[in-house]
Every structure is written in C-alpha cells, then in structure tokens.
Structure 1
Amino acid sequence: MTDPTRPTTILEGTILAFTPVPQQRRRADGWTPLTQERFIRALEAMGSTGAAAKAVGMSRRSAYKLRDRDGADGFAHAWDQALDLGRGRMFDYAMDRALNGITTVRILRGGAVDVTGGPDMALVHAALREPDAPAKGTKGTK
C-alpha cells in the first residue's frame, strides 16, 4: 500500500531513485517528472550531460538550472550516480575496443572489398583523457 503523504519517487528500487524537482510552471515542453526520469536514464546510458539533455529535447544549460533549483537534491544525487555509471560504461566500451579491436569494411572502386581490423585508437585516447576514468582494476566503480 502506498502512503499518500510520501512524495512520488522515480526509478523506485534503483540507485537512481529520486523525487522529481517540482515544476515552477506547468509546461508541456518543460522539465516534467517524466522528462527528468528520461534524462537520468539517458545520462546513465551515455555518460554525457549534453548528450542526455539533447536526447530528451532539452538544453544542457536548462538541465544545470534545474539541478540548481530548490528541492533538487534527490535529482542532483541521481544525476551524479547516473553520470558515474555512464562514464564507467563508456570507459569499459573503449577498453573493449582497444583489446579486441574493430573491423572496418570498405567497398573500393570496381567492387573490391577491403577489410581491416585493429583498435579504435581515437576512442581509446578519448576515454583515457577523461578525468574521471575508473582506476585500474575497478571495472567502472569508485
């Protein structure tokens, strides 16, 4: 049975659970509770604030403004958790590509096919430049 006095939480039962930031004005294109949940889930998947905001049709700037509002403590905590998870996932992905390489198939003039393999070094270098890259042997946890 749910308690009607208890605020509604989103992503209940996960480490990303949070109480939505109250809306200042009712706007269909604003930061609704559903948009907030989708942003946190996108942040967990992508590990990038700008990309997650764009994925839900909002700007990076408006996301930070929402995070700074009164009553956004739970949202900010979920944001931090999701960002850590997303960055860990991206780091693991880059290291997998470094170890296992990638295959590139090109169709050349005359119909010839060129298949090459090897690591995606641009992705590997990007992951290693990330200041919050997981420490060696931690598999994305801090």
Structure 2
Amino acid sequence: MAREQVLTTGTNRPVQQQRTDKGWTPSRRERFLDHVAATCNVRAATEAVGLSQSSVYALRRRDPAFAAQWRMALLAGYDRLEEMLVSKAIAALEGVAVGDPDTVVCGAISIEQAIKLLDRHRSIVKGGSGHREQRSRATQAETDAMLIARIKAMRGKQERRV
C-alpha cells in the first residue's frame, strides 16, 4: 500500500507533515465525509474506512477544519434524506416508482429511522442539543478569573460567618 501524507496539528504549533499507512489520511477523511453525507451514519462511515469511532471523534476535537467539514457533510446528508422522504411521499401519493436503483447511494432506511434523523437534525439547526457539540477549552485567563471569583465568594461567606 502506498504511503499517504497526513497533516497533524498540535496546540499553537504549525502543521507538521508525517508519512504513514495508518490513521486519518486525507483520502480516508474524504471517504469518511462522503459516506456521512450519503448515509448520516458515523458508525458505518468509520467502518467503511477501517478506523474506529473513537478515533474520528478525537480527530474532530483536535481539528476544527475537519469538524466543520463533518458538520457540512451531515447537513448535506440530512438535506438528501429529507429530499428522499419527500420523493417517497410524492411517489406514494401519485403511485409512481421512486428513483433509479442504480443511482441510490445509501442502504435501506426505514421511514421511522429517517424521521428520527431529521428530528435530530432540526434540533441541531435550531440550536438544540441533538448531539454533543465540540466544547472549547477555557483559556488560562478565563480559568484564573473564575478561580479568583470563587475564592472571593468563599472569603465573603467566611467573613459573614465571623
């Protein structure tokens, strides 16, 4: 197997280049994102590229660009899913066959599964908690300010007791 370039990032460090046969290579990232856009299924997408779910979630946490690409792939997948549901609903009403089986990208999905995915998507779009959003870490200054405020509050309580 040919080696591919992998771009890795470190905290406040420039991007370093490595050569490896394993891990989240650019082609694996692209295949993963394509699969997510087609199916909205992260588990199936990681299986399709031969890597673990935990590794893709770790990559999303440390790579904001990949996290944005993942979100866009999900949005495209949800749009596609919604289009498929509308198409099926129209076909059922008109008695017309749905789609060309040679152009179908994703596997079978029940209407119930599709509706649940769309509900989750809508809650995310509206700012709900359809899934865990990436949390950013507090800066040193934010942490210091929070600790100082708590210490002052504790001292104030202690002085009121005396």
TM-score of the aligned structures, taking structure 1 as reference length:
0.55
SS of residue in 2 equivalent to 1:30: coil
Query: What is the aligned residue count?
Result: 96
Using CA pairs below 8 Å that are at least 6 residues apart, which structure has the higher relative contact order? 1
Contact 1:87/1:133 (8 A) holds in 2 = no
Contact 1:43/1:82 (8 A) holds in 2 = yes
Which structure has the bigger radius of gyration?
Answer: 2
Task: Return the alpha-carbon distance in structure 1 between the equivalents of residues 21 and 36 of structure 2.
Answer: 21
Does 2:23 align with 1:40?
no
1:126 Cα deviation from its structure 2 partner:
2.0
5+ residue gaps in structure 2? 1-5, 10-15, 98-108, 126-162
Does 2:60 align with 1:79?
no
Does 2:49 align with 1:49?
no
SS of residue in 2 equivalent to 1:100: helix
The change in CA–CA distance for 1:97 and 1:90 in structure 2 (over 3 A counts) is: same
Amino acid aligned to 1:127? A
1:27 Cα deviation from its structure 2 partner:
3.6
User: Percent of pairs identical after alignment?
Assistant: 31
TM-score of the aligned structures, taking structure 2 as reference length:
0.49
Does 2:79 align with 1:92?
no
Does 2:118 align with 1:127?
no
Does 2:46 align with 1:59?
no
The change in CA–CA distance for 1:48 and 1:21 in structure 2 (over 3 A counts) is: farther
